[in-house]
Amino acid sequence: MTQELIELDACQRCGGAILDYLSPITDSPMCITCGWRRVIVPADVLAEVEAHLGKNFMEDRYTHKQIGTGKPPLSGWEREKRRRERVRREKEDQQLAVS
Ligand SMILES: [Zn+2]
């Protein structure tokens, strides 16, 4: 018997069931309906988000990044910024709800 876990209505694309093999050697959790894969956020990204929470210096960080490159930010980086901003807001909302 293999260890599997099915999460109903967990697919962000079609709302289908996600099949998780609960094993590090198999693929990441995948929707059995449309094949969408849940993207697992790497630990280092999570740590960076955590680091941002205690400080109000996101603008400073971007300024540092822009110095030396002289190039406009890539669209991929723009998307990443928006994603991190969303995560940060969600965490703040959770903290407000607790306190
Ligand atoms: Zn799906």
- The pLDDT value given to residue 96: 82
Q: List pLDDT tens digits, range 63-84.
A: 555 555 566 656 788 888 899 9
- CA 4, CA 15: separation in Å to the nearest integer? 19
Q: List pLDDT tens digits, range 7-47.
A: 999 999 999 999 987 776 666 788 999 999 887 667 777 78
- 38 burial via Cβ count (<10 Å: 0-12, 13-18, 19+): middle
Q: What is the sign of the dihedral through the CA atoms of 64, 65, 66 and 68? A: positive
Surrounding ion ligand 1 within 5 Å at CB are 11, 13-14, 16, 31, 33-34, 36
Assessment of whether the complete model's pTM goes beyond 0.85: no
Task: Parse the chain into domains and list their residue ranges.
Answer: 1-40, 43-98
Smallest CA-to-CA distance from 32 within 53, 50, 5 is with 5
- The pLDDT value given to residue 64: 55
Task: Measure the N-to-C terminal CA separation of the chain; round to a whole number of Å.
Answer: 45
Report CA(47)–ligand 1 centroid distance (Å). 29
